Structure 1
Amino acid sequence: MKYTLVFVFSILSLIHIIAQKKLPVLRANSSKAIIIEDGTLKTDWNIDPSVKPDIYTVSKIGKESKIVKVKTDVDSVKILIKQGEKKDFVILLKGKDSCYTRIESSLPKDFSKATPAFHDSIRLGINEQNTMFVKTALNKTDSLTLNFDTGTINLSLTKDALKDKIKQPLKPGLNILSIGNKKYQGFRIRQVELSGHGTDGRFGWDLFDGMVVELNYDLGIMVVHSKLPNFVQKDKSYEKLNIKYYDQLFFVETTIQEGTKKNKDWFLFDTGYQRTAMLDEPLLKEQSFPTDQMKIIKKVMMKGGQGNEVPVVTADLQSLSLGKYKLKSIPAQLLSESRLVSNRRMHILGNEILKRFNVFLDFQQNVIYLKPNKLFNDNYIESK
């Protein structure tokens, strides 16, 4: 009875909202629609008049608004949505069925007022292959060495780790990952063929959504904070960069230069990628960036996360800048064919560059603070 009353109240509330506000109407003759985020991220959507409202939740929004396009077989509408906002409209199916639909952004997570405040420090390792790793425990019993991979979400374990190191049955939605003194839940687990050298798998940035993660290579520690430490914003050596989210991954604005030509774009911030930067050559050519002027260092076949082979050319990039900090003569990887991630072409920043900065990843204000560390002037692994 309690749940029935709650459901009835929700329907009445929706009817009241509709009565008070004239909602946009989108026409459709087919029950199949497409929802598009940021111009490229596409989701097939089933128009169902029995669900009131039918809710689509967009991927995380940072400081910028997000444009969402809903497209039916005969009509379309663009919706601008901000963090924590909801937008309602009606899809009129075959001229008779009113399908009440909502596009919403989830309320952001925020641990800044956690009591007591926490600053959980974990020993951080990095090996010769640029794999960053920490010691963890799954369900209190299974010790695992895992890569903190900001280019992914949830938890991925190798086939060998699942076979040889997991002693207890895994329970979907109920597994607990212990990192330092904190415990994390609510993640999914998937099997992968490969992970960073010497690790049993990797975990993504989303475990720390609403928190602040410090990566300090000078001290060899990773610290999970409930709030950004006060000294960071006062220290002028830290450069502040905005985060932009796309399909649950996050990007930072990066500038590359060859000759007199500069190109500014959003790069995936990917500590799980062990090399410098992966550049989408077809995309750069469309933007008139002179990749043909980059001196070729070598050509290799690279293995992807699922064991697939990808042809890669390593070439000398004149410079790459993150805010005011510039790195020069970088052996960057050029992909001759675009690699689509959720229908989007992208460039990637890897840990051979990212390890050269001490970083605060602020998933509350959706910004990154970074400054050069002791590794900043080290030679690149793939030198000329």
Structure 2
Amino acid sequence: MFKKISLIFLFSCGIFNCYAQQTIPFRITKHNNIIVKTLVNKKDSLDLMFQIAMEGASISPDRQRKADHIVFNKDEISENNTVQIGKLTLNNIRFSDNQLTGHEADGKIGTALFGGKAFKIDYDHNQFIIYNQKPDLKGYQPITTLYEEEAFYIAADNIIDGDKQQEAYFVLQSGYSGGLLYSNDFAAEKELDKKLKITGEKTLKNSSGKSIVTKQAILPFLKVGNSVLKDVSAGFFVGDLKKQTVNYFGADLLRRFNWIFDADRKTVYIKPSKYFSEPYYKIN
């Protein structure tokens, strides 16, 4: 009788799915950053910001909590660390020292969290899900991704002038709290300073007197897959110093979708989250 009950249980929960995933809870700050509570080397309790554009981990010089048990070499690198998050233990994690991070975080941790497996960023339930088997993709749409130098790139259509679509590739950047941040080349080529509605700007100068101007603007429409976002917050740089070489798809836009990344990092599946129509984050 016991054997029959056991078999019924296995089939009812779907033999291949009962142990097909692990869950990592997180919280989202008011700046749209994802924070994960960790225990490093069984000694240091650290709040680390999830950075999708890196694989390893790092410690901030502005951290609020001690990280005395992460030992760095002369190159500010620490190898073979363990990171515990709830019941999950990650081994052989590399930490870099003195990297700035987001608000409320002692450092950063990247996609090493997922060990090369398929994973989900579930903004509806504030959790990551790591899959051992193929996840349920019902209701999700696929988007081709390019994975290079620890970063994910996706293509999106920018409606800048009338109904003309301008395709651009964006780096998914969970460390940037805002919406879009355009590269210098894209901003200049598309004349964003003239064609977008400017909502604010700041001018900074370095010790040589060279200036950098950051401008905040509104993009009328952004199309990501089959989803269209309206009046999107977008930033770009003008002036003497312009160092933005890639376009960013920031945390304010990331939170508007739930994301499932496949194990080979060639496709991501997206579905609008509960934040899809929320007001846009304002860059101060």
Superposition TM-score tier, normalisation by shorter sequence: 0.7 to 0.9
Query: CA shift at 1:211, angstroms?
Result: 0.8
> Within 5 A, what are the aligned runs for 1:105-120?
117-120=19-22
Question: Which SS does the other structure have where 2:269 is aligned?
Answer: strand
After superposition, the Cα gap between the structure-2 partners of 1:178 and 1:271, relative to the gap in structure 1 and judged at 3 Å, is: same
Which residue in 1 is equivalent to 2:171?
268
Which residue in 2 is equivalent to 1:364?
264
CA contact (8 A) 2:176 2:250 kept: yes
Distance 1:365 1:381 in 2: 28
Structure 2 unmatched ranges of 5 or more: 1-15, 73-77, 205-210
Query: CA shift at 1:139, angstroms?
Result: 0.7
Residue 157 (structure 2) pairs with residue 255 (structure 1): yes
Distance 2:17 2:280 in 1: 43
Query: CA shift at 1:348, angstroms?
Result: 0.6
> Within 5 A, what are the aligned runs for 1:72-111?
none
CA contact (8 A) 2:147 2:266 kept: no
Residue 94 (structure 2) pairs with residue 188 (structure 1): yes
Which residue in 1 is equivalent to 2:8?
none
Distance 1:348 1:374 in 2: 22
* Superposition RMSD in Å: 2.6
Query: CA shift at 1:135, angstroms?
Result: 0.8
Which residue in 2 is equivalent to 1:325?
227
Query: CA shift at 1:382, angstroms?
Result: 2.1
Distance 2:158 2:106 in 1: 34
TM-score, length of structure 1 as denominator length: 0.61
CA deviation profile, 1:264-286 (whole Å, cap 9, x unmatched): 12210111211101012433433
Which residue in 2 is equivalent to 1:74?
none
Query: CA shift at 1:118, angstroms?
Result: 4.4
CA contact (8 A) 2:119 2:262 kept: yes
Distance 1:381 1:293 in 2: 21
CA deviation profile, 1:18-74 (whole Å, cap 9, x unmatched): xxxxxxxxxxxxxxxxxxxxxxxxxxxxxxxxxxxxxxxxxxxxxxxxxxxxxxxxx
After superposition, the Cα gap between the structure-2 partners of 1:155 and 1:186, relative to the gap in structure 1 and judged at 3 Å, is: same
CA contact (8 A) 2:17 2:133 kept: no
The share of aligned pairs that are identical, in percent, is 24
Distance 1:319 1:281 in 2: 20
Question: Which SS does the other structure have where 1:299 is aligned?
Answer: strand
CA contact (8 A) 2:178 2:253 kept: yes
Structure 1 unmatched ranges of 5 or more: 1-113, 303-308
Question: Which SS does the other structure have where 1:381 is aligned?
Answer: coil
Residue 139 (structure 2) pairs with residue 139 (structure 1): no
Question: Which SS does the other structure have where 2:147 is aligned?
Answer: strand
Which residue in 2 is equivalent to 1:176?
82
CA contact (8 A) 2:222 2:228 kept: yes
Distance 1:294 1:164 in 2: 42
After superposition, the Cα gap between the structure-2 partners of 1:279 and 1:224, relative to the gap in structure 1 and judged at 3 Å, is: same
Which residue in 2 is equivalent to 1:61?
none
Query: CA shift at 1:173, angstroms?
Result: 2.3
TM-score, length of structure 2 as denominator length: 0.80
Which residue in 1 is equivalent to 2:255?
355
Which residue in 2 is equivalent to 1:165?
66
After superposition, the Cα gap between the structure-2 partners of 1:193 and 1:245, relative to the gap in structure 1 and judged at 3 Å, is: closer
Query: CA shift at 1:201, angstroms?
Result: 0.8
CA contact (8 A) 1:208 1:363 kept: no
> Within 5 A, what are the aligned runs for 1:44-55?
none
Aligned length in residues = 254
Greater relative contact order: 1 or 2 (C-alpha under 8 angstroms, separation 6 or more)?
2
Distance 1:208 1:275 in 2: 25
Which residue in 2 is equivalent to 1:69?
none
Q: Which amino acid aligns with 2:55?
A: I
Question: Which SS does the other structure have where 2:69 is aligned?
Answer: coil
